[in-house]
Amino acid sequence: MAIAEIESSYEVAGGDFTNAGRASTAIKDTLKRLGVPPAVVRRVAIASYEAEMNLVMYAKRGTVTLAVNPGAVTLRIEDEGPGIGDLELAMQEGYSTATPEMREMGFGAGMGLPNIRKNADEFRIESDVGRGTRLFIRVNQAV
Amino acid sequence: MMTTAAEARQVSLADIRKVLEADLLCGSDLSVKVRQAEAADLMSDVLALSEPGMILLTGLVSNQVIRTAVVADLCGVVFVRGKKPGEEILRLAGEAGIPVMSTPLTMFEASGRLRDAFLNR
């Protein structure tokens, strides 16, 4: 399969629950159009959507950047926000600092970050308290 | 969250509509075959545990239900307890090609009937 190297960025606004998920559905459309295998598209879309929801729920603003190469699809999610003080704790299933409003959206149960890691072949997270959080996600195209 | 048995029979969206006494709010092709269903209000659970092609029963009414269905490759959404999504949700579903129904049944009753439908038809 021939897939051109492409990169595109999506701005995401914190607190905008109406549009939360638009970037991820756009990313999914792009990957489908490029002929990326459906199982890979699904893993990227799920990881992207969880990350996008985290950004909307917790950060002021941020970007989701998609890059597609012949071997892999990568996502970089960078936000300006409160950051995460204890990354190890945040990665535990069920740990959450979500508000009732976030839970009413069907999110905020402490499943997001573990689910992103589950869908990624490579996952990195860095955070500075008071400044923001950066995620890097790679999903390999080869089965 | 509940998921029906993986080895269940396939039923069509039309069968599901009948079994759940549901109104069809969005979508037209009800011949699509469904192998599994899940019942959940927590979209993170759906994203973590669903399989492509599942149908989702939910009591949560928000844009995120449709976006979750799109992202997770679900074949349709049924809102329980007679909940009717607003225009914005139906517009999103229409654009994404996600069939949407509303059943007057509770999540428990709808899940039970669907389980029977998958296992006994």
Output the pLDDT for position A28: 97
- By CA distance, what is B45's nearest residue in A? A111
Count of all residues that appear for chain A in the document? 143
- By CA distance, what is A109's nearest residue in B? B44
* Alpha helices in A1-143, H assignment, sequence order: 22-33, 38-58, 87-90, 100-104, 112-119
Tens digits of residue pLDDT in A44-84: 999 999 999 999 999 999 999 999 998 999 999 999 999 99
Give the pLDDT mean for A118-138: 97
Output the pLDDT for position B96: 95
| Beta carbons of A24 and B52 less than 8 Å apart | no
Judging contacts by C-beta atoms under 8 Å, the chain A residues touching residue B96 are 25
Measured between alpha carbons, how far is B22 from A96 in angstroms, rounded to an integer? 35
Nearest in space to A11 (alpha carbons), one of A28, A29, A1, A26: A26
Give the pLDDT mean for A15-28: 95
Of B9 and A12, which is predicted with more confidence?
A12
Is there a contact between A78 and A63 (Cβ–Cβ < 8 Å)?
Answer: yes
| Beta carbons of A106 and B52 less than 8 Å apart | no
- By CA distance, what is A23's nearest residue in B? B67
Output the pLDDT for position B35: 84
Residues of B engaging A, defined by a Cβ cutoff of 8 Å = 41-48, 52, 60, 62-65, 67-68, 70-73, 88, 96
Give how far B86 is from chain A: nearest CA, Å. Answer: 13
| Beta carbons of B43 and A105 less than 8 Å apart | yes
- Give per-residue burial for B70-95: e unless 16+ CB within 10 Å, then b: bbbbbbbbbbbeeeebeeebbebbee
pTM: 0.92
| Beta carbons of B62 and A28 less than 8 Å apart | no
Percent of chain A past pLDDT 90, that is, above it, reads 84
| Beta carbons of B70 and A28 less than 8 Å apart | yes
Helix (H, G, I), strand (E, B) or coil at A8: strand
Output the pLDDT for position B3: 57
* Structure tokens given for A10: 């999506």
| Beta carbons of A25 and B45 less than 8 Å apart | no
Q: What is the enclosing helix (H) or strand (E) of B88? A: helix B87-96
pLDDT in tens, chain B (121 residues): 555 554 567 899 999 999 999 999 999 899 999 989 999 999 999 999 999 999 999 999 999 999 999 999 999 999 999 999 999 999 999 999 999 999 999 999 999 999 999 887 5
Judging contacts by C-beta atoms under 8 Å, the chain A residues touching residue B48 are 111, 115, 118
Is residue A4's pLDDT more than 70?
Answer: no
Nearest in space to B103 (alpha carbons), one of B78, B76, B69, B74: B78
Is there a contact between A75 and A24 (Cβ–Cβ < 8 Å)?
Answer: no
Give how far B20 is from chain A: nearest CA, Å. Answer: 23
Judging contacts by C-beta atoms under 8 Å, the chain B residues touching residue A42 are 52, 71-73
- Give per-residue burial for B33-66: e unless 16+ CB within 10 Å, then b: ebbbbbbbbbbbbbbbbbeebbbbbbebbbbbbb
Measured between alpha carbons, how far is A127 from A37 in angstroms, rounded to an integer? 32
Measured between alpha carbons, how far is A48 from A123 in angstroms, rounded to an integer? 12
Output the pLDDT for position B120: 74
Of B62, B72, B96, the CB nearest to A105: B62
Output the pLDDT for position B2: 55
Output the pLDDT for position A105: 85
* Structure tokens given for A42: 């699904």
Output the pLDDT for position B6: 42
| DSSP-assigned states of every residue in B16-77 | HHHHTTPEEEE-S----EE--EEE-S-HHHHHHH--TT-EEEES--SHHHHHHHHHTT-SEE
Measured between alpha carbons, how far is A38 from B88 in angstroms, rounded to an integer? 27
Give how far B70 is from chain A: nearest CA, Å. Answer: 7
